[in-house]
């Protein structure tokens, strides 16, 4: 199908102004937040209604044209990277809050609503939406659902999957699916959980119903300094082992605080090798008790200094430094590569030492910023894409971190998804049989494979190339499965 043929077919069923086809209109969509991967789409469509989304899907299905859904384009694994011969389906204009019900404590949202806007709209009712990715000022609820996004407060309040009650959306065949509902439980297989985190491979989400929770009366943060990153890592494990679940538990190493502090002026201890931020929320009595417990565990774990936020402004300043860590990396290095793996908390210390060793071997610096409470690492590998060989070294450095995550009992992604970035690492984490099941699920929703092809699930052939598939006596397992 040529670009003109597809554009003509789309313009027959959609308002002409929502189909973009000129080069200069397409370029802004060529990458998401992982800008090392770029691909100009064949066409971009900007629907305003669910019916227009359905018309896009029906047309693409009929013409066998791939479709990539896009929210705000802040994804860090290339999930929204366009397909060269496909349509980029931007959901940004479906950005209305359909309903806030303060009695039922729910919000019904179109997928293009920004994460932060939900809490802002719920605030007059004393409510908020708990999952708070650091990108919350920009990222969309549809993208959050597709990536099962997390954030600082997910340790206590759960990830997107724990805070979404229902979704509505369309398959590539234009079939409407309504998964979940307002009631706490549902019969049948849990398709809601299956779709959350499915990276736009199964359906296009057109509406999301989320839980809202009451704002705590008080929240305070302890900032603890450590003279050794391993001690800070071990302190995280000690807090959880003591039965404390802070509202947030984050860690930054010295390279990260040094990059952030001049930018945000968060008040971080720049003499510390690592700092921990541990938040407690609840009634004033609960917070006072828990902060005392946290301080006692941190002291025993070797904290060299501790400061407790004394005002809401100071608490927000402490978090603002953490939430701006990624942009701060952009101030100290021409490029950075943000990794996202998860390991059991007890292994944070050994992991940090291993990363230090990799920094030497790959001759690249790495800043460490962790959602430490849930063992989710965000090493930021600093490199210069204009220096020949640096991106290739950064890429291998990242892959080695992810493989170590798997060896330490963890996973290759905590919250940023697989996309195209981690597709090879999927071969390390999952067996041939498991990946074949992933393809089975994909085919059950999208038999044509037109929704976001080439993302998240590696083909068997790809894993064989990556050297991880067991080829016995020259016989490929699952020889009947297509190898793209």
Ligand X SMILES: Cc1cc2nc3c(=O)[nH]c(=O)nc-3n(C[C@H](O)[C@H](O)[C@H](O)COP(=O)(O)OP(=O)(O)OC[C@H]3O[C@@H](n4cnc5c(N)ncnc54)[C@H](O)[C@@H]3O)c2cc1C
Contacts with ligand X, residue ranges (CB under 6 A): 32-33, 68-76, 79-80, 91, 111, 133-135, 139-140, 142-144, 146-147, 149-151, 199-200, 204-205, 326, 415-416, 452
Q: Provide, rounded to whole angstroms, the least separation between the CB of residue 325 and ligand X.
A: 8
For 174, residues 6+ apart whose C-beta sits below 8 A from its C-beta are 54, 57, 58, 61
How far is residue 69 from each of residues 114, 131, 191, 314, measured CA to CA in Å? Answer: 16, 22, 19, 39
Strand partners for 250: 277
Q: To which H or E segment does residue 156 belong?
A: helix 154-157
Q: Rounded to the nearest whole angstrom, what is the least distance from the CB of residue 21 to ligand X in the complex? A: 20
d(CA 329, CA 467): 33
Comparing CB distances to ligand X, the nearer of 69 and 366 is: 69
| 110 or 347: CB nearest ligand X | 110
CB of 32 to ligand X, least distance (A): 4
Q: Give the helix/strand (H/E) hosting 398.
A: helix 390-407
User: How many Å apart are CA 340 and CA 326, to the nearest integer?
Assistant: 12
Radius of gyration in angstroms for the set of CA atoms belonging to the chain, rounded to a whole number = 23
Give the residue with the Cβ less far from ligand X, 75 or 233. 75
Residue (of 73, 56, 124, 135) closest to 323 by Cα position: 135
CB of 295 to ligand X, least distance (A): 26
For ligand X, give the closer residue by CB, 255 or 455. Answer: 455
Helix H or strand E encompassing 282 = strand 274-282
| Euclidean distance between CA atoms 105 and 416, whole angstroms | 27
Closest to ligand X by CB, 75 vs 174, is 75
Q: CB 328 → ligand X: shortest distance, Å?
A: 10
Q: Give min distance, CB of 54 to ligand X, in A.
A: 13
- Give 309 or 452: the residue with its C-beta nearer to ligand X: 452
Of 151 and 233, which has the nearer Cβ to ligand X?
151
Q: How far is the CB of 361 from ligand X (least distance, A)?
A: 27
- Which of 59, 413 has the CB closer to ligand X? 413
At residue 434's C-alpha, the angle toward residues 429 and 435, to 5°, is 80
Helices (H), 265-335: 284-300, 312-323, 325-332
Burial class (CB in 10 A: 0-12, 13-18, 19+), 110: buried
Helix residue ranges, H only, 64-181:
115-122, 141-147, 154-157, 160-163
Q: Which residue is nearest to ligand X (CB)?
A: 143
* Distance of closest approach, residue 66 Cβ to ligand X, in angstroms: 11
């Amino acid at each position: 199908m040529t670009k003109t043929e597809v554009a003509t077919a789309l313009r027959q069923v959609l308002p002409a102004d929502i189909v973009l086809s000129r080069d200069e209109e397409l370029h802004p969509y060529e990458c998401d937040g992982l800008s090392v991967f770029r691909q100009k789409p064949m066409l971009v469509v900007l629907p305003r209604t669910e019916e227009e989304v359905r018309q896009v899907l029906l047309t693409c299905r009929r013409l066998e044209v791939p479709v990539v859904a896009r929210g705000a384009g802040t994804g860090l694994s290339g999930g929204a990277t366009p397909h060269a011969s496909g349509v980029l389906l931007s959901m940004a204009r479906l950005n209305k809050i359909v309903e806030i019900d303060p009695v039922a404590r729910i919000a019904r949202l179109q997928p293009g609503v920004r994460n932060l806007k939900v809490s802002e709209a719920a605030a007059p009712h004393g409510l908020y939406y708990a999952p708070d990715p650091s990108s919350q000022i920009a990222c969309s609820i549809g993208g959050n659902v597709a990536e099962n996004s997390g954030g600082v407060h997910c340790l206590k309040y759960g990830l997107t999957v724990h805070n979404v009650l229902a979704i509505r959306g369309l398959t590539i065949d234009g079939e409407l699916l309504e998964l979940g509902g307002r009631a706490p439980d549902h019969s049948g297989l849990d398709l809601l959980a299956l779709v959350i985190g499915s990276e736009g491979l199964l359906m296009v989400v057109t509406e999301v119903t989320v839980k809202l929770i009451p704002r705590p009366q008080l929240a305070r943060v302890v900032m603890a300094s450590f003279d050794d990153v391993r001690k800070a890592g071990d302190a995280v494990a000690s807090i959880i082992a003591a039965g404390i679940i802070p509202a947030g538990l984050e860690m930054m190493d010295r390279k990260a605080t040094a990059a952030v502090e001049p930018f945000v002026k968060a008040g971080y201890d720049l003499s510390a090798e690592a700092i921990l931020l541990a938040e407690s929320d609840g009634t004033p009595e609960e917070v006072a008790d828990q902060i005392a417990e946290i301080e006692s565990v941190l002291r025993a774990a070797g904290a060299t200094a501790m400061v407790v936020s004394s005002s809401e402004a100071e608490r927000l300043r402490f978090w603002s430094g953490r939430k701006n860590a990624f942009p701060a990396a952009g101030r100290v290095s021409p490029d950075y590569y943000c990794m996202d793996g998860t390991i059991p908390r007890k292994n944070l210390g050994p992991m940090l030492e291993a990363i230090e060793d990799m920094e030497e071997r790959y001759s690249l610096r790495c800043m460490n910023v962790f959602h430490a409470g849930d063992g989710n690492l965000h090493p930021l590998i600093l490199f210069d894409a204009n220096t020949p060989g640096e991106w290739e070294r950064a890429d291998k450095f990242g892959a080695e971190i992810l493989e170590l995550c798997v060896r330490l009992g963890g996973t290759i992604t905590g919250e940023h998804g697989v996309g195209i970035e981690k597709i090879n690492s999927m071969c390390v984490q999952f067996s041939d049989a498991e990946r074949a099941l992933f393809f089975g699920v994909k085919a059950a929703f999208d038999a044509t494979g037109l929704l976001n092809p080439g993302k998240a699930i590696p083909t068997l052939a790809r894993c064989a190339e990556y050297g991880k598939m067991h080829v016995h006596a020259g016989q490929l397992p699952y020889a009947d499965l297509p190898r793209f």
